[in-house]
Amino acid sequence: MIEFKHISKQYKNDIVAINDVSFKIEKGEFVFVIGPSGAGKSTIAKLLLKEEEPSAGSLFFNGEDITTIRSRRIPLVRQNIGMVFQDFRLLEDKTVYDNINYVMQIMGVSNKLKKRTIDRVLETVNLEEKKKSYPRELSGGEQQRLSIARAMVTKPRVLLADEPTGNLDPETSWEIVRALQKINEAGTTIIMITHAKEIVDTLKYRVLEFSKGKLIRDEEGGTY
């Protein structure tokens, strides 16, 4: 489904963010991406989202080399990749329902389909009873679950979560992980960039470990 093939990324300041990285992620996998700050993890996400272009190598998504696609097709790629951030990035002046509705309006979805889809994603993250609440009225875990719901409205093939538990306490972090597991069980591929050692060590999913721009470990059933 996703293949990084000898990918390197060097920025204008001559910093090499990743160097000759190759790996595959299959449909339906749940993968942890770990490593210290500056290891290249965020660059992996930016390349997949087409926010950056590789300096060398090829990046395949659904069998297509997306390093060579035209700019007008980039939104189609991004529509298939839901993104969840550490800092939530919610619209503070909109309710839970309207945060999700806003995304669907941009997509041009009909009102009938919007309601059905919003109800579905809110049920997935257990926020049905909070649809009229504003982000400031939600706990940190609820805000992150809302950001996950918003990322899921496009029915993406991949959900890319960048430190989704980074600002949360351990109990709330597990709430978020359980929500991601539920989405994964429904068929969505999950890529979770994380420093959460306890979560990685407990679940023992596949681990991709980066250090100084290199992929130094690719382990099934891995720990931190």
Write the DSSP assignment of 26-54 as a string of letters: -TT-EEEEE--TTSSHHHHHHHHTTSS--
Evaluate if residue 99 carries a pLDDT over 90: yes
Domain range spanning residue 125? 91-154
**Residue 136 falls within a domain, yes or no?**
yes
Question: In this structure, what token pair is assigned to residue 194?
Answer: 């994380």
**Residue 117 falls within a domain, yes or no?**
yes
**Residue 20 falls within a domain, yes or no?**
no
**Residue 114 falls within a domain, yes or no?**
yes
What was the pLDDT predicted at 129?
Answer: 94
What was the pLDDT predicted at 85?
Answer: 86
Evaluate if residue 193 carries a pLDDT over 90: yes
**Residue 135 falls within a domain, yes or no?**
yes
Evaluate if residue 162 carries a pLDDT over 90: yes
Evaluate if residue 4 carries a pLDDT over 90: yes
Q: Where are the alpha helices (DSSP H) in the chain?
A: 41-48, 74-79, 96-107, 111-124, 140-152, 170-185, 197-203
**Residue 126 falls within a domain, yes or no?**
yes
Order the strands of the 64-65 sheet from edge to edge.
16-25, 2-10, 56-61, 64-65
**Residue 208 falls within a domain, yes or no?**
no
Query: How confident is the model over 73-80, as a mean pLDDT?
Result: 89
Q: How many distinct structural domains can be found in the chain?
A: 1
**Residue 132 falls within a domain, yes or no?**
yes
